[in-house]
Amino acid sequence: MGLNVVEKILKEHLVGGELVSGKEIAIKIDQALTQDATGTMVYLQFEAMGFEKVRNELSVSYVDHNTIQVGSENADDHAYLQSVADKYGAIFSRPGNGICHQLHLERFGMPGKTLLGSDSHTPTGGGIGMLAIGAGGIDVAVAMGGGPFNLVSPKVIKIELKGSLKPWVSAKDVILKVLDIFSTKGNVDCVFEYGGPGIKHLDVPERATITNMGAECGVTTSVFPSDDVTKAFLEAQGRGDSWREILPDPDAKYDRIEKIDLPEIEPLAAAPHSPGNIETVVSLAGKKVDQVLIGSCTNSSYRDLKTVAKILEGRKIHPSVSLGIAPGSRQVLSMMAREGLLEIFISAGARLLENACGFCIGNSMSPVTNGVSLRTSNRNFEGRSGTKTAGVYLVSPEIAAVAALYGRIVDPRSLDELKYPRVKQPKVFDIDDSMFLKPSEKGSQVKVVRGPNIGVVPKNELLPGTLSGVATIKVGDKITTDHIMPAGQRLKFRSNVATYAKYVFEGVDAEFSQRAAGNRDAGQHNFIIAGDSYGQGSSREHAALCPMFLGVKAVVAKSFERIHLANLINFGIVPFKFERAGDYDRLVQGDRLSVSGIREAVKGDGKALLKVKSTDKEFELPVRISLSDRQKDILLAGGLLNLTAAVVDKK
């Protein structure tokens, strides 16, 4: 029987289990990436587990999130990461080199390889034909140490693209269309495999824009075949020898096929406050815009920024708009400089931003109160921009650039004065790898630099026999990890769990952390009650680690997102699902909750009873924990760190 691209790569890497969708499998990880905001914890855990060196083919430690450096915390993190990479054998990408996903695509991505990254947008690598998956930091630490990665064997959904895109419509609109079809929930344990005659019209960075934002649908990853387009990109990056063809067999099977006619797609936007809230640009036309930000790992390639430059050329931005442009990498930046495109940005009135995550993670450029911000990034969750009252619209670079000129959302197809600039991939990209530091020969002799911001990894206790405590918070549907563990101005505390934990649920309920710590100190377990798709968005394991530190022992939800579910288990927090979704309505914050025989339930069939008690009610309701045998062991041990530190083969 013929195989699809996903099956081909999985088959080559399978080290445990069977490729039957829904069943847990283990795969070998060829490459790993970390970024600084999750990376310090990855390396602290790597050290705590006792690994002696990095053992996979390639691990790269990028610095791109925490580059603001207000106070010494960020610089402390960078110094730690640089020294620890040197010691254990990873490549260190210096601050100023660019955004991890853009850089990895340019310089390291290889068709047919597996990549595990401690960042949810790792699937950007799917644009080059690799199986690139985002995961929690501890899973990446294990993979760097040579261990396998465990995942649910996915359902493969083929997205068949036909025809080519019309002027003013680009890859961003394709993924916004996909989000419109699939939404941000209900796609857990699926992979999108793109195919069909339309893919030959999309170059690798465009494909990467599409696979990048598959993360917003909640799929495990997205992948394009590796074809002549992939070959041309790798050759232009001076890496033609990394190419191999990977196409689906003609009789490959899929769990579902969705067809999209590229010429039918029109310019789209994701309206506040969800990437799944899709509207047409024409329906938003006329909306006044305060800020336009172009960049992020979704849309910061040479193609994207040159398109923007061509639109801005010879023009000035609207006086009421603040325009910021952040190239994705030093390669993009240097090509902009060499080709005179920076000149265009400067003359148009743009603010040149660092080639880093910056605004995308709310680290800078927060919009004005009640403002409208148009961004080419991938997430517009409420408050992520740093301004709770602002509305962020996610659009293509084309729509963003035109809005910067007019001060409002405009459908450029209605303008005669603007001609659509089609940008072609250059024959050769500028290549200068000098900001990637290879590990020195000194290895174990290297002294790891630990400034005051470098904390320790807290460990959990064994799972107790009975959980007993309080519903410390009740939240609704689609709670993102940005709700649970805010980034932005709190991002600099990532390496220090005790401090960062003070901000758990800060934007939702600023008293949560204190209340939870109080319960913990009084010997009570904290429970979180949640609706559907709990833990959407980022891979940040701090959204499990910090609640664990505050004594959260269980989350009772209608459903969970993939990476966050794995993170909860990895830190020993029990993920209960309501057996009957309607029971969610019967619980309120402050209810006293208990579950007895929890260790037996984890070992056995996963069914348990949640006892609910308050002054005016008392009842029991059924909850369920679905776990693989491996996950059962982790949960019983109180987390992966307790388990792996004991069994790891360290040499």
- The binding site for ligand SF4 (CB under 6 A) comprises 65, 99, 119, 121, 296-297, 357, 360-361, 377-378
Q: Which does 296 bind (CB under 5 to 8 A by kind): ligand MIC, ligand SF4, none?
A: ligand SF4
Q: Which does 99 bind (CB under 5 to 8 A by kind): ligand SF4, ligand MIC, none?
A: ligand SF4
Stretch of 9-17, 114-122, 306-314, 414-422 contacting ligand MIC, by CB under 6 A: 114-122
Strands 268-270 and 278-280, sheet pairing: antiparallel
Q: Output 396 or 538, the one with its CB closest to ligand MIC.
A: 538
Strands 592-595 and 607-614, sheet pairing: antiparallel
Applying CB under 6 A, what is the total number of residues that bind ligand MIC?
13
Residue 121 interacting with ligand MIC (CB under 6 A)? yes
Measured from the CB of residue 564, what is the shortest distance to ligand MIC in angstroms?
Answer: 10
Q: Output 101 or 158, the one with its CB closest to ligand MIC.
A: 101
Contact present, 477 and 218 (Cβ < 8 Å): no
Contact present, 141 and 45 (Cβ < 8 Å): yes
- Side chain identity at 172, as an amino acid letter? K
Q: Which residues pair with 525 in a beta bridge?
A: 469
Measured from the CB of residue 120, what is the shortest distance to ligand SF4 in angstroms?
Answer: 7
Q: Which does 355 bind (CB under 5 to 8 A by kind): ligand MIC, ligand SF4, none?
A: none
Residue 570 interacting with ligand MIC (CB under 6 A)? no
What's the longest Cα–Cα distance across the chain? 73
Residue 101 interacting with ligand MIC (CB under 6 A)? no
Peptide bond just before 273 cis, omega within 30 deg: yes
Residue 119 interacting with ligand MIC (CB under 6 A)? yes
Residue 335 interacting with ligand MIC (CB under 6 A)? no
CA angle centred on 177, ends 176 and 183, rounded to 5°: 80
Cα–Cα distance between 108 and 154 in angstroms, integer?
Answer: 25
Counting beta carbons within 10 angstroms of the beta carbon of residue 606, is it exposed (0 to 12), middle (13 to 18) or buried (19 or more)?
A: middle
Closest-CA residue to 456 (of 62, 144, 48): 48
Q: Output 143 or 202, the one with its CB closest to ligand MIC.
A: 143
Under rule CB under 6 A, which residues in 339-368 are in contact with ligand MIC?
361
Report helix, strand or coil for 436: strand
Contact present, 645 and 50 (Cβ < 8 Å): yes
Stretch of 116-124, 418-426, 514-522, 585-593 contacting ligand MIC, by CB under 6 A: 116-124
Q: Which does 377 bind (CB under 5 to 8 A by kind): ligand MIC, ligand SF4, none?
A: ligand SF4
Options 4, 34, 38, 322; binder of ligand MIC; rule CB under 6 A: 38
Q: Which does 38 bind (CB under 5 to 8 A by kind): ligand SF4, ligand MIC, none?
A: ligand MIC
Cα–Cα distance between 331 and 429 in angstroms, integer?
Answer: 7
Cα–Cα distance between 491 and 487 in angstroms, integer?
Answer: 5
Measured from the CB of residue 641, what is the shortest distance to ligand MIC in angstroms?
Answer: 19
Cα–Cα distance between 571 and 583 in angstroms, integer?
Answer: 26
Measured from the CB of residue 106, what is the shortest distance to ligand SF4 in angstroms?
Answer: 15
Q: Output 336 or 353, the one with its CB closest to ligand SF4.
A: 353
Q: Which residues pair with 408 in a beta bridge?
A: 288
Q: Which does 372 bind (CB under 5 to 8 A by kind): ligand MIC, ligand SF4, none?
A: none
Residue 487 interacting with ligand MIC (CB under 6 A)? yes
Measured from the CB of residue 570, what is the shortest distance to ligand SF4 in angstroms?
Answer: 20
Residue pointed to by tokens 């088959």: 11
Q: Output 4 or 373, the one with its CB closest to ligand MIC.
A: 373
Stretch of 50-58, 107-115, 117-125, 255-263 contacting ligand MIC, by CB under 6 A: 117-125
Distinct helix (H) and strand (E) counts, the chain: 21, 27
Residue 553 interacting with ligand MIC (CB under 6 A)? no
Measured from the CB of residue 46, what is the shortest distance to ligand SF4 in angstroms?
Answer: 21
Q: Which does 540 bind (CB under 5 to 8 A by kind): ligand MIC, ligand SF4, none?
A: ligand MIC
Q: Output 121 or 632, the one with its CB closest to ligand SF4.
A: 121
Instruction: Give percent helix, percent strand, percent coil of the chain, each to the nearest 5.
Output: 35, 20, 45
Counting beta carbons within 10 angstroms of the beta carbon of residue 11, is it exposed (0 to 12), middle (13 to 18) or buried (19 or more)?
A: exposed
Contact present, 58 and 33 (Cβ < 8 Å): no
Residues 68-87, mask of contacts with ligand MIC (x by CB under 6 A) = --------------------
Q: Output 38 or 559, the one with its CB closest to ligand SF4.
A: 38
Residues 511-550, mask of contacts with ligand MIC (x by CB under 6 A) = --------------------------xxxx----------
Q: Cα 474 vs. chain centroid, distance in angstroms?
A: 25
Contact present, 387 and 364 (Cβ < 8 Å): no
Structure tokens at 81: 């990461």
**Helical axes 640-647 vs 36-48, angle rounded to 10°:** 50
Residue 114 interacting with ligand MIC (CB under 6 A)? no
Measured from the CB of residue 485, what is the shortest distance to ligand SF4 in angstroms?
Answer: 14
Stretch of 118-126, 152-160, 230-238, 428-436 contacting ligand MIC, by CB under 6 A: 118-126
Go through the chain and tell me how many residues it has.
651
Residue pointed to by tokens 């002696």: 52
Residue 120 interacting with ligand MIC (CB under 6 A)? yes
Measured from the CB of residue 649, what is the shortest distance to ligand MIC in angstroms?
Answer: 28
3-state SS record for 224-279: CCECHHHHHHHHHCCCHHHCCCECCCCCCCCCEEEEEEHHHCCCEEECCCCCCCEE
Q: Which does 474 bind (CB under 5 to 8 A by kind): ligand MIC, ligand SF4, none?
A: none
Residue pointed to by tokens 């970024």: 35
Give residues in contact with ligand MIC (CB under 6 A). Answer: 37-38, 65, 119-121, 134, 361, 487, 537-540
